[in-house]
Structure 1
Amino acid sequence: MNSYKPTYRTNSILLILFFIVFAANFATAQTSQQRLKIADNNKKTALANFRSNLVSEYALERTQLQEAAKLNNWKIKETLANGKKIELQGIGADGSPLYYETYADEAGLVSRASTLNTDGLMGLDLDGNGMNVGVWDAGIALQNHVEYTSRIAVGDENAEVDTHATHVTGSIISTGLKKDARGVANMANVISHDWTRDKIEVTEAAADGLLLSNHSYGIKADRVPDWYFGAYTKVAQDWDKIMYNAPYYLMVTAAGNAQKSSDNDTPIYGKTADGFDVLLGFTISKNNITVAGANSKIDNNGNLKSAEVSAYSSFGPVDDGRIKPDLAGNGGTVLSTDAASNTSYDTSSGTSMATPGVTGSLLLLQQYHEELYGEYMKAATLKGLALHTADDIDAEGPDYKMGWGIMNSKTAAELLNNKDFTSHVAEESLENGASFSFEVTAEGNEPLIASISWTDVQSSFVNTGELNNTTAALVNDLDIRITQNGKTFLPWKLNPAQASSAATRGDNKVDPFERVEIANASGSYTITVTHKGDLINDMQDFSLIVSGVAMTSCSIQAPEVALDAAETSSVELTWDATEDALYEIQYKEVHQQEWTTEYISINTFSWKALLLDQTYSFRLRTFCSQNIASEFSEVATFTFNGEETELETLNALSADSQIPFNVYPNPAVDEIQLNVKTSDTAVYRIMSTSGVELKMDAATNSRINVSDLPSGLYVLQIQDFDVNKSTKFYKY
């Protein structure tokens, strides 16, 4: 087999420099140019042909529905006693009527999306501004609700306004005029449709660059025969085809609320009362994300304290044993917008409510990736990132109740930020008969986790009536392995015949996502991606996500500056070199307000055209990746005196700076105290170790409140005139 070993740090300094210099020019909104770029990556002919087929099928199905409904006395639309709306949407292969229903029985906190928002713990100010998301539902959302009135476009003008659609839409984009009803992506835009022509409209929108859509509905479980449960049917095949041909588009759907409904008398595992094997319809698609409902407790720092699957949330497995649902979100008593008036609100529960929380979180992660790297992720990367970073619940590994666990937007965002430092995210392609290998070094203080995710071609196999048929829907079967010194580490897998058993490690032959974990990893490992059989279309794109690795030997310790030489009008400043580093240098005449900034890849700087008896300041920091930098060095100051020039000691600037700078108590619980005197203009900053500024204020008070920070290691900086001092502390 051919083997491809990529070298990712080639020209990394130039790439880092490019992104640092031009990052300010990247817009976080999805622009028309970006939509065109996404559209250019779509299989346009295939999408156009498929849309044409869907339109023809839809016209024929509508005629057949009307005739069958009249013949069998089926109602086309119905409002049930509990107020829920259902609608006849198709006829199954066996002649069964297929009704759509919304998955609500009566969002962003549990997914940790709130840590990404403006004033969130991570200080990222992500709110979905300018981003677009599609919502398909029983009807359209109330367009003039005060929470989002200018940020909703209606795709089906003649559709009825629907309470459920309004609630779902608000869960994603409500501004937060009522604080507890704030949406996950509270400045994003929604395109609202009813569900009547969902596949046709999504095909059109995905072809035009839509990234995400929310579907909090599905086939009504109590009106289909048992073989539908877990079966890969034409509707799942159609949605997989849309996503395969539009590789940036991801469908997010609710798992359903049928756990306790006893609708499946012959589940693939256990008894009806166990609640397994009640997924059906497009929830079973391979390429989407299917969302379970969870009851969770999250502390103020975004840490998951406890979680359990909601009593209503539908369980997997699907018949071929794939891991479904994929993720879980908060579905319990969610306050959101209501359609009764443009100022009304209501609470609702169900996987319908869990799904928009996940959809909004995924939208923010797309916004963050574009902000960091100037482009959006493919759907396989986004899905893989969410599954890779989910909070595992109960037994180790995935399960058929909540998939890979509770979505954790905070961990996902941190992984993106640490790319090329302690994590790796790459979109690759595997050719038929080839293998892919990648060498990594474990960071040593957390598990080594490697995942592959791919958007698989739709299966040619469609179940038309066989109960619990275990034929795999997976077409292009990729495999990931990690090896070290002859030992092979395998991915997680589940067994549908033992659906309540814990996950095991082995050869996964059914899932288009595989994840390998190594606890207590140490040393070098080789990640290898291969495939079984022949690849359809002779290749398969995939995304590789790795965490818990040291991608560079670059040090983020603040450099120390030395004066190496001085001449008649210049000085040579030096510092210790670090491998794979880019240096940001800043310099100025001491009384100037603004620093001049440059980026260089060598550890010396020749400062020319200096004037005698003028005093100058210089500082620098080390970039080890695009987003990870050291603290700035202490300011090096000198009065230029030709060849006699020397760096001045800090006590020449401030007598107080002779005092060693640290904080106590360390570790801290609620507050830290400074043991250094400061002027009235001094400012403190608390930074994460990855360089994100979390707090800033005047340092005139020696006590600093840190009770609102999550547990972890932090950097405290004090800036007082030209003195810039820093220390680290740990917060319990």
Structure 2
Amino acid sequence: MTTYKSTYRASSILLLVLFVFTMGQMAIAQTSQQRLQISENNKKTALASFRSNLISEYALERTKLKEVAKLNNWKIKETLANGKKIELQGIGADGSPLYYETYSDEAGLVSRASTLNTDGLMGLDLNGDGMNVGVWDAGIALQHHVEYTSRIAIGDENSEVDTHATHVTGSIISTGLKKDARGVANKANVISHDWTRDKIEVAEAAANGLLLSNHSYGIKADRVPDWYFGAYTKVAQDWDKIMYNAPYYLMVTAAGNAQKSMDNDTPTYGKTADGFDVLLGFTISKNNITVAGANSKIDNNGNLKSADVSAYSSFGPVDDGRIKPDLAGNGGSVLSTDAASNTSYETSSGTSMATPGVTGSLLLLQQYHEELYGAYMKAATLKGLALHTADDIDAEGPDYKMGWGIMNAKSAAELLNNKDFTSHVAEESLQNGDSFSFEVTANGDDTLIASISWTDVQSSVVNTGELNSTTAALVNDLDIRVTKNGQTFLPWKLNPAQANSAATKGDNKVDPFERIEIPNASGTYTITVTHKGELINDAQDFSLIVSGVLMTTCSIDAPEVALEQAEAAQVTLNWNDSDDALYEIQYKEVYQEEWTTEYISVNSFIWKGLSLDQTYSFRLRTFCSQNIASEYSDVATFTFMGEETQLETLSALSADSQIPFNVYPNPAVDEIQLNVKTSDTAVYRIMSTSGVELKMDAATNSRINVSDLPSGLYVLQIQDFDVNKSTKFYKY
């Protein structure tokens, strides 16, 4: 077996400089060029061939459906007494009618996505602007609802407008004209389809660069025999095949509302009334995300205070013991758009309503990753990120009720922002017979968490009638291990025979996502990824996600500048060195408005071309990763006097500059006031805590408007001639 070790350098200077110069020009929408780039990574021939097969199968199935339905007096479409629409979509291997139904009952929208929005806690201004998401449902959404503002395209023009589809679509993209009905990604675009040809249409859309689709429906539980529950059937195989051949595409589906249905008389665990083993159809796919419903309470800072599974939400396990559902969306009634008119709204619930909240959150995370790094994540990375950062509930580890826990878009976004500083995200590939290793150092403050996620090949073995078959659907079985000083840490796993018991740690042989947690970690650890048996197709791509680590020893304290040497027409400035750092240097004549900016990787700078008796200013900050920077140093000011040049200190400045600098009120709501006088040339800057400039203007009076800033912590800098001061404030 060949072992290859990933080597890492915390700051890639060239990439970082390119990023700093181009970040203002980076597109955050999903452009046609980006969709083309995604498309080029797809297995186009395999997708085209598979789509052609699906079309042929669909034509034969529709003919057979009509014949068998007529023979058995089955209705093709039906509206139930509760208003729910169902439709005959297939015939199982044993001849059972497979009806699709929507999953509306009693649930809600995912939490924490709002922290990423324009007015959210993190101030990231993420709203899905220009991003595309597919919605397949019982029908199409009401296209001209006022909340959609022309951001919906109809994929099936002759389909019926459907209330459920309209509600789901609104949960993702509603503008928020009615505030409580605002969608998670309220500037995104939806392509709306009915469910009739879902696999065919998704295969085509994924081949053309679609990143995400929402499916808040599934097989009706009371019309199939017991062996269907938890079984890896052809429909799960088909969806896995689509996702494997389109590695950037991720399907998000509702778990269903069958917990109390009493439909499975022979579950893999417990009694029928316990509610386990009621997942069906494509919810059992390996590569998708299946969403449960939950009731939860979130505080004003986006922290989960309490949560439990909703009373209706379908439980796993699936027959081979995989962890399903994967995640849970926030429970509660959801106000969204309704199809009664272009201005109507309705409250609805169910895992159908939890799912679009998760889908919208995942779309925002794709948007954020593109904004930070100029590219979208593979589906395995996106799924792994969501499962890695989910809020664990009650007992440690995953469970068969809510998977890895409540979706936490805030934690996921923070992990992305801290990449190469306190976290690591990488898309790797394991060749047949090889192993992969990677060393990390725990940061000593947080639990060290290491995860691998991969889009697995569809299984060639599908269930056609065996009750509670334990045959694993996993094909390429990767393994992650973390070691230190002879001790090996293992991933979480669940036992379907003890479905209500807490997770244990051991060799996980069934899940295409594995996560290891090491509380109170300290020192250096080695992460190793291997595989069992032979890899189908001789290789397996995987995503590695690590948090709670120190990827660099770089310090984000503001540097202290000193004048090392002065000679004819130049000075040499230096500052305290920081390992693996990139320095952003800004310098100018003191009365100039604009700074000249350079980037270097050493802790000294020779400033040439100076003139006698001219006064100059200099400041710098440290970049420890692409997104993590220190505050600027105090401005170093000097009048060039040849070899006699000296930096001026605060004690040499005016008495007014010695007044302690702060702002009030702090926290602020609409404006802040300064406690120092400023001249007519004074300038203020408001920065994020990671060093990104958000606002700059003249500070000609003591009041500064902050009403347009999202809630959060900020740094205020005042530059007034040769005086530079900074302080922090919080904006409600």
**Normalized against structure 1, the TM-score is what?**
0.95
Separation in 2, partners of 1:720, 1:424: 36
Paired amino acid for 1:263: D
Decide whether the 8 Å contact of 2:108 with 2:334 is kept in 1. Answer: no
Separation in 2, partners of 1:322, 1:369: 29
| Residues 618 and 333 (structure 1), Cα distance of their counterparts in 2 relative to 1, 3 Å cut | same
Separation in 1, partners of 2:412, 2:702: 36
Report the 3-state secondary structure (helix = DSSP H, G, I; strand = E; otherwise coil) of the residue aligned with 2:549: coil
Separation in 1, partners of 2:340, 2:705: 50
Q: State how 1:546-695 maps to structure 2 within 5 Å.
A: 546-659=546-659, 677-679=676-678, 689-691=689-691
CA drift of 1:718 comes to: 3.9
Decide whether the 8 Å contact of 1:13 with 1:580 is kept in 2. Answer: no
Structure 1 partner of 2:513: 513
Structure 1 partner of 2:86: 86
Structure 2 partner of 1:95: 95
CA drift of 1:671 comes to: 14
Report the 3-state secondary structure (helix = DSSP H, G, I; strand = E; otherwise coil) of the residue aligned with 2:39: helix
Deviates more, 1:297-306 or 1:672-681: 672-681
1:242 aligns with 2:239: no
1:518-537 per-position Cα deviation (integer Å, ceiling 9, x unaligned) = 00000000000000111000
Paired amino acid for 2:132: N
CA drift of 1:650 comes to: 2.4
Structure 2 partner of 1:352: 352
CA drift of 1:20 comes to: 1.4
Separation in 2, partners of 1:488, 1:729: 45
CA drift of 1:613 comes to: 1.8
Report the 3-state secondary structure (helix = DSSP H, G, I; strand = E; otherwise coil) of the residue aligned with 1:150: coil
CA drift of 1:660 comes to: 5.5
| Residues 577 and 571 (structure 1), Cα distance of their counterparts in 2 relative to 1, 3 Å cut | same
1:305 aligns with 2:316: no
Paired amino acid for 2:105: D
Paired amino acid for 1:540: Q
Decide whether the 8 Å contact of 1:44 with 1:207 is kept in 2. Answer: yes
Deviates more, 1:107-116 or 1:117-126: 107-116
Decide whether the 8 Å contact of 1:679 with 1:720 is kept in 2. Answer: no
Decide whether the 8 Å contact of 1:123 with 1:692 is kept in 2. Answer: no
| Residues 664 and 525 (structure 1), Cα distance of their counterparts in 2 relative to 1, 3 Å cut | farther
1:168 aligns with 2:183: no
| Residues 696 and 587 (structure 1), Cα distance of their counterparts in 2 relative to 1, 3 Å cut | closer
Decide whether the 8 Å contact of 1:715 with 1:726 is kept in 2. Answer: no
Paired amino acid for 2:566: A
Deviates more, 1:503-512 or 1:585-594: 585-594
Report the 3-state secondary structure (helix = DSSP H, G, I; strand = E; otherwise coil) of the residue aligned with 1:517: strand
Separation in 2, partners of 1:610, 1:107: 68
Report the 3-state secondary structure (helix = DSSP H, G, I; strand = E; otherwise coil) of the residue aligned with 1:209: coil
Paired amino acid for 1:76: I
Decide whether the 8 Å contact of 1:147 with 1:175 is kept in 2. Answer: yes
Decide whether the 8 Å contact of 1:108 with 1:184 is kept in 2. Answer: no
| Residues 422 and 532 (structure 1), Cα distance of their counterparts in 2 relative to 1, 3 Å cut | same
| Residues 589 and 356 (structure 1), Cα distance of their counterparts in 2 relative to 1, 3 Å cut | same
Paired amino acid for 1:100: Y
Structure 1 partner of 2:15: 15
Structure 2 partner of 1:487: 487
CA drift of 1:454 comes to: 0.1
Structure 1 partner of 2:438: 438
| Residues 162 and 715 (structure 1), Cα distance of their counterparts in 2 relative to 1, 3 Å cut | closer
1:256 aligns with 2:251: no
1:143-199 per-position Cα deviation (integer Å, ceiling 9, x unaligned) = 001111311111101011000000000100011111111010000000000000000
| Residues 151 and 263 (structure 1), Cα distance of their counterparts in 2 relative to 1, 3 Å cut | same
| Residues 663 and 146 (structure 1), Cα distance of their counterparts in 2 relative to 1, 3 Å cut | closer
Separation in 2, partners of 1:469, 1:538: 28
Decide whether the 8 Å contact of 1:717 with 1:724 is kept in 2. Answer: no
Aligned residues: 727
Paired amino acid for 1:453: S
Deviates more, 1:628-637 or 1:324-333: 324-333
Report the 3-state secondary structure (helix = DSSP H, G, I; strand = E; otherwise coil) of the residue aligned with 1:270: coil
Paired amino acid for 1:611: S
| Residues 522 and 692 (structure 1), Cα distance of their counterparts in 2 relative to 1, 3 Å cut | farther
Separation in 1, partners of 2:539, 2:435: 11
Report the 3-state secondary structure (helix = DSSP H, G, I; strand = E; otherwise coil) of the residue aligned with 1:414: helix
CA drift of 1:658 comes to: 2.8
Structure 2 partner of 1:222: 222
| Residues 251 and 585 (structure 1), Cα distance of their counterparts in 2 relative to 1, 3 Å cut | same
Structure 2 partner of 1:2: 2
Report the 3-state secondary structure (helix = DSSP H, G, I; strand = E; otherwise coil) of the residue aligned with 2:497: helix
| Residues 691 and 395 (structure 1), Cα distance of their counterparts in 2 relative to 1, 3 Å cut | farther
| Residues 464 and 388 (structure 1), Cα distance of their counterparts in 2 relative to 1, 3 Å cut | same
Separation in 2, partners of 1:373, 1:702: 32
Report the 3-state secondary structure (helix = DSSP H, G, I; strand = E; otherwise coil) of the residue aligned with 1:56: helix
Among all aligned residue pairs of Structure 1 and Structure 2, give the percentage whose two residues are the same amino acid: 84
Separation in 2, partners of 1:129, 1:665: 34
CA drift of 1:109 comes to: 6.8
Decide whether the 8 Å contact of 1:156 with 1:192 is kept in 2. Answer: yes
Over the aligned positions, Cα root-mean-square deviation in angstroms equals 2.7
Paired amino acid for 2:567: E
Decide whether the 8 Å contact of 2:123 with 2:711 is kept in 1. Answer: no
Report the 3-state secondary structure (helix = DSSP H, G, I; strand = E; otherwise coil) of the residue aligned with 1:355: helix
**Normalized against structure 2, the TM-score is what?**
0.95
1:547-575 per-position Cα deviation (integer Å, ceiling 9, x unaligned) = 00000011111001111122222211111
Decide whether the 8 Å contact of 1:583 with 1:601 is kept in 2. Answer: yes
1:340-370 per-position Cα deviation (integer Å, ceiling 9, x unaligned) = 1111111100000000000000000000000
Decide whether the 8 Å contact of 1:136 with 1:195 is kept in 2. Answer: yes
Decide whether the 8 Å contact of 1:320 with 1:469 is kept in 2. Answer: yes
Separation in 2, partners of 1:461, 1:501: 29
Structure 2 partner of 1:719: 718
Decide whether the 8 Å contact of 1:299 with 1:305 is kept in 2. Answer: yes
Decide whether the 8 Å contact of 2:716 with 2:729 is kept in 1. Answer: no
1:31-80 per-position Cα deviation (integer Å, ceiling 9, x unaligned) = 11111111111001100110010000000000000000000000000000
Paired amino acid for 1:507: D
CA drift of 1:577 comes to: 1.6
Report the 3-state secondary structure (helix = DSSP H, G, I; strand = E; otherwise coil) of the residue aligned with 1:593: coil
| Residues 506 and 37 (structure 1), Cα distance of their counterparts in 2 relative to 1, 3 Å cut | same
Separation in 2, partners of 1:669, 1:139: 47
Structure 2 partner of 1:272: 272
Separation in 2, partners of 1:190, 1:672: 38
Report the 3-state secondary structure (helix = DSSP H, G, I; strand = E; otherwise coil) of the residue aligned with 1:458: coil
Decide whether the 8 Å contact of 2:661 with 2:725 is kept in 1. Answer: yes
Separation in 1, partners of 2:490, 2:12: 31
Structure 1 partner of 2:426: 426
Report the 3-state secondary structure (helix = DSSP H, G, I; strand = E; otherwise coil) of the residue aligned with 2:440: strand
CA drift of 1:663 comes to: 9.1
1:439-477 per-position Cα deviation (integer Å, ceiling 9, x unaligned) = 000001000000000000000110001110011000000
CA drift of 1:717 comes to: 3.8
| Residues 586 and 11 (structure 1), Cα distance of their counterparts in 2 relative to 1, 3 Å cut | closer
1:25 aligns with 2:7: no
CA drift of 1:410 comes to: 0.6
Decide whether the 8 Å contact of 1:442 with 1:548 is kept in 2. Answer: yes
| Residues 536 and 19 (structure 1), Cα distance of their counterparts in 2 relative to 1, 3 Å cut | same
CA drift of 1:728 comes to: 6.9
CA drift of 1:239 comes to: 0.1
Decide whether the 8 Å contact of 2:107 with 2:350 is kept in 1. Answer: no
Paired amino acid for 1:719: I
1:325 aligns with 2:328: no
Q: State how 1:38-187 maps to structure 2 within 5 Å.
A: 38-105=38-105, 110-187=110-187
Paired amino acid for 1:300: N
Structure 1 alignment gaps of length 5 or more: none
Deviates more, 1:129-138 or 1:322-331: 322-331
Decide whether the 8 Å contact of 2:217 with 2:253 is kept in 1. Answer: yes
CA drift of 1:11 comes to: 6.8
Paired amino acid for 2:441: T
Decide whether the 8 Å contact of 1:42 with 1:247 is kept in 2. Answer: yes
Structure 2 partner of 1:497: 497
